[in-house]
Every structure is written in C-alpha cells, then in structure tokens.
Amino acid sequence: MARADEVSGSPRTLQPSDHSGATAPVSHRLPAPPRVGGQHTGPSGARRLHYRVADVSDATRLYRPATPPGHDPSRAAQRAADPRGWRYEDAALDAVHRVIAERRDIRRFRPDAVPEDVLERVLAAAHRAPSVGLMQPWRLIVIRGTEPRIAIRDVAARERLRQAGNFDERARQFLDQKIEGIVEAPLGVCVCCHHGTPGEEILGRGTIPDTDVYSTACAIQNLWLAARAEGLGVGWVSFYRLADLRAILDIPERVDPIAYLCIGWPDERPVRPGLETTGWAARLPLERVVMAERWVGEPGDEVGDGPTANGTSRAPDREAAISARDRSDRLVKPGGSLGALEPLIERWAATSGAPPPARIRAGVLVCAADHGHTAHGTSLFGSHVSAQVAAAAARGETAAGVLARDGGHRLLVADLGLRGPTPEGVLDRKVAAGSADMTAGGALTQAELHAALAAGRELAAQLADDGVDCLVLGEIGMGNTATAAALASLLTGAPASVTVGRGTGLDAAGLERKRAVVQAAVALHAQAATPEAMLAAAGGLELAALAGAVLEAWERRLPVMLDGYATAAAALAGARLQPAAGAGLFASHLSAEPGHALVLTELGLEPLLDLRMRLGEASGALVALALVERAGLLHAQMATFAEAGVDES
C-alpha cells in the first residue's frame, strides 16, 4: 500500500501471465512510469518514483510464478523472519542425534538375510552423500557369494597376524578383534573410490586432489547411519592389502577400495564402542578436539605463527550483506538474473555497511614514485616522465583527471618517491628520491617502507574524512610494472616468465631484458619470508603507500576499487599484511599485463571488465565505477514484488 503523498499519475497496470522465463514477455513488462510529482529522494540523493498498487484487483494482479520443482521455494522474507525455519521437529532431531550416537562397529552377525528393500534404502543413503563438485566417486560392490567372502577373510587373517607385532604388549588384545563377521554376515559391501578419467577437471578438486577420497568417506558414513536406523549392523574391515582386495574383486588400478563393510543383522547390541569397552582407547572430551580460530598445538606439533596481521581488524558486516541479498531476492526479476552485479552489491555492503549508492563520490588516490631498476632498461621512458605525468594528472589533463572531474570525484595525486622536485599541484609526501635497485639489494629500507605505509594510510584517511563513498587506487611511475612483477613473484611464488609483461610497450628484446631483471631480483630476495620483507625487497614507494591505503580503507569501511596490475600487486601485499582487508577489494578490469590475472586470482577477485587497458593512473577503475553505480541504482530503485503488486503466494 503506497502512502497518499507517494501517489501520482495513473496506477501501474499489471497483466496476469503464467510465463516464468528469464526474459519477460510483453504481458510481464511494467510500463514506464509517468514523470510527474510524488518523487522521493532515496539513498545517496537518488530520485525514486513510487507507484500506486492499492487498487490492483485480483483480476489484474500479477502472480509471481511458483518456484520450479527441485528449486528452493523459500523467500528472503521467510528466511529473515525465521532463520531457524529449516530445523527439524524435536522428535526427528532427537532421532538424528540418536542414530549418530548409537552407531557401532559390529563384529558378530546373525545369518538371516537382509531384505532387498532394506538394502536398497541403505545403499541409496550412501549414494545421497555430499561430494565435492558433485563428482560422486563412490562405487559400491555388493558381495553375497561365500567364496569371495572367504577369500577376503583369509586375506584379513594374514594381515592381522602381520600387524599384531606392531602393538607390543597389546598384541593379544589386537588379535581378539574378530574378523569372522566377513563370512558370518549375509553380505559385504566394498566401497570404492573411482578417481575419474586422468586429466579430467573436477570442480573443487584442483587444489586438493584427495577430495574424491574424502567424498567417498561421506558415503560410508551415510551408509553406516542408515543401516543403524534400520537395525542392521556394520563392521568395517581394514586388515587387507589393496592389491589383495583388487585381485579378489577385479578392481582396476584407477579405482581404490576404501572400505570393506560387513552388513547384516547384529548378534550383539553394544552400548559403547567395542574398543572403548575393552579399554583399547577412550573417546576424547569435546574440548580436546575443538579449537577456536586456529590450531592449538599438541606435544610434538610444529606450529607456525599464523597469518601476518598488523593488530586486530574489523570483520565484514554480515548483516548488511545479508540484508542486501534479501532485497535482491525480493526485486521483480528472476533470482540471480543480475549475474555478477548481485555478489558485487553484497560485497560492497559487507565492506561499507550499505549497498553502493546510485551516484558514487569516490576518493581517487594516485601515488607516484620512481624505481632504481630502470637503470637496466626496464622501461621505455626515463624517470623524468613520471613527474610530467603526475603533474598532468593533478591538472586534470590525463584520463584519470578527466574521468574524476566528470564523475565529481575527489582526485588526490601524491609524490611518494619521484626523483626530482614535487610538481606543482601534486601533494608532497616524498619518502625518498625513488627506490633503490632491487637487483643489487633491498628496494626500500625498513624506515622507508614504514614511512610509505604510514603515508598511504594518512592519504586514505584524508579522503575518508572528506566523506567519499569508496577509494579508487591508481599509480604513476615509469618501470613500476617490473616492480609489480617482482613483488607478485615473491608473494605468489610464480616465475618471472608468468609475471612479467610488456608494460608501456617494450619490444621482444626489451621484454627479455625486463624478465632478466625481475628474475635476478626474485633470486636475490628468495629468502624474504613475510609480506613486509617482500615489500622492502622489491616494492616501490608508491606501491607500499597503496598497500597502506588498503589497510586504512578497510578500517574506515571504504570499498577499494583497484585499477591495474600495479595496484593489484600492492593490494595483495596489503591483504597479506592484514588478511581481513582483502574482503573490501574490488577488481575493476583485467589489464593486458599477464601477471594481473594471477594476482587477481590470489586475491579471489573477478574483474568487472576486460578491455585490455594498460594505462594505469586509476583510469580503468574509474571506467568500471560507472558499472557499480548502475548496480546500486538497480538495487535501490527496482520495485520489489510487494511494491509492484505481485502476489508471491
């Protein structure tokens, strides 16, 4: 129901339709509203029109299509009103926890057959297990024949005797572990892991190849719990060599048997696990196995210092992010249909506490400095050009100046380390007259590094105090793509062949020369073990300042829009110094430099644009900022289903 002071013009006409596709037919489309009175100023000064829906009749009301079968039928409002609404009723919940608590490893079985419908339910439970990338690697061999089960029993008997000597005075107790259940139980199930086709890419498995084995273990647990609920006993036999079991069951080499399970009606009903009853071991108290935040060392552990962080840091605003997601779910559109704009809005809200405004006033911080390695020909231009470009940017004559002026943004160009005098219009925050040659020693001293980090923090704080909505980072410095490449190699371990590109347009000979310089620097500083040491070894003064700006922006709740390769490398260093700060970063575009994609991957960021830009100075970030504004506009001004008179029932 719209308020009287929000009503103007004719009511919005809504047509009934059963169409539920992503592209709305004519009958679904809402007519453009009349541009008359009744406007309301929304977030960040955006003008938002309100429409009358009070007199929409049942005949003309548009009904939100039902969620297709197999999809989540819940709505954001339901989930917000009752976060525990997915919980089972008490009786069902008690049953779940009871079956978990009463699962036992059974060694003695009755000879009675297991009905086929019961077995099918148990096997189906195993097949419902979660698996990384939905790879479903488990294969279940059901063994009813006596001959193969006797062969497996014999293999287990031999292996049990081989292992007994490993337990010293407990050898006899170990030998008491019965294996006759392999034959006594009416059937066995060998749970195998099929590792898939060699070279096949599985979602979520690229970094941790053994996730197929872990997924198979989930299937074993599902089977075991379902069997216990049916009153069946399960005994896990682990006394065998893989080659022996492969030979008996004709299991190919690309498949591993993970567990042999005896299944049948139990001839024992133990109250406690058997090994606990016999005193072999006892269950540890919960507090021994649950740790807060990070690993708590036990005797014999080698425990590291954990991630490097400069003190404590705030956490992302989860409530704001979820609130933004809830609103996106209620807008008149299919769920997720705005694609990458929807997680962008959530991430922005998690950083700043609110979705992006429809009109963003950014603080554009462009840091300038020169680099000692340019003496080796790593840039087409001399260091004097850095000062000239910085002066032109401060006058608003470069791409960044034009875009900042057009967008109404606050542009701040700062000299962190230009070799010559600070140009007119450029803020003087000079730490040193350029960095040292990173191939001959550290590029920065510890004092210079700390001063540059502090200067970057101070500049970001100055922009934050001016009330900007976000921070846009840019840089100026001849040769700084070589600096970025060396820093990226140290931070990621990638070779120079991956991190070095043509920069401002080097030819083939120049590219090889640049790679050689970066390789030499990386080799010299290979022992740098912390992000701070890496910045001192290879970083430029402008990159160190940008890293400091990233840290300050996170504490000030300012989203940070990165420009190209150099700003991304600086941001990666900042995120390594304070991991929480990485949550406030946004990648504007993918530059032509080959190492840029590597650094964005390390940051976990997807670029909004891919225009092959390589200008720097924050130009790409300012181009992308318009896209963020469009996302904010849609989020703020699209109608919700309720506002549009759409029935969600």
Rounded to 5°, the CA angle 413-566-625 comes to 65
CB 214 within 8 Å of CB 278: no
CB 646 within 8 A of CB 20: no
Beta pairing partners, 255: 194
Check: CB of residue 491 under 8 Å from CB of residue 576. yes
- If one counts every other C-beta atom within 10 angstroms of the C-beta of residue 256, the result is 18
Residue type at 290 in one-letter notation = V
Helix (H/G/I), strand (E/B), else coil: 367:
strand
List the catalytic residue out of 475, 593, 617, 629: 617
Nearest to 215 by CA among 128, 154, 280: 128
* Cβ atoms 367, 456 nearer than 8 A: yes
Query: Please, are residues 352 and 462 in contact by the beta-carbon 8 Å criterion?
Result: no
Q: Give me the residues paired with residue 234 across strands.
A: 105, 263
Q: To the nearest 10°, report the CA torsion of 181, 183, 186, 190.
A: 80
Contact 565, 574 (CB under 8 A): no
Burial of 232 from C-beta contacts in 10 A (0-12 / 13-18 / 19+) = buried
Q: Distance between CA 588 and CA 565 in Å, rounded?
A: 11
Cα–Cα distance list, 127 to 140, 218, 533 (Å): 9, 9, 50
Q: 3-state class of 368 per DSSP? A: strand
What span, in angstroms and rounded, lies between the C-alpha atoms of 444 and 430? 13
For every residue of 238-279, DSSP letters joined together read --S-HHHHHHHHT--TTEEEEEEEEEE-BS---SS-HHHHTT
Dist. CA 57–CA 642, nearest whole Å: 14
CA atoms within 13 A on the CB side of 198: 2
Q: Which residues, 6 or more positions from 299, have their beta carbon under 8 angstroms from its beta carbon?
A: none
Phi/psi-derived region of residue 250, left when phi > 0, alpha when psi is between -120 and 50, beta in every other case: left
Contacts of 486 (CB under 8 A, 6+ apart): 438, 496, 499, 518, 521, 522, 538
d(CA 457, CA 553): 8
In whole angstroms, what is the distance from residue 286 CA to residue 290 CA? Answer: 6
3-state secondary structure of 427: strand
What distance in Å separates the CA atoms of residue 635 and residue 196, rounded to the nearest whole number? 43
| Helix (H/G/I), strand (E/B), else coil: 399 | helix
Identify whether the C-beta of residue 581 lies closer than 8 Å to the C-beta of residue 550. yes
In which element (H, E) is residue 519 found? helix 508-524
Residue whose C-alpha is closest to residue 353's, from 268, 202, 470, 466: 470
In Å, the largest CA–CA distance within the chain is: 94
User: Does residue 617 carry a catalytic annotation?
Assistant: yes
What is the Cα–Cα distance from 610 to 592, expressed in whole angstroms?
9
Residues that are catalytic: 617
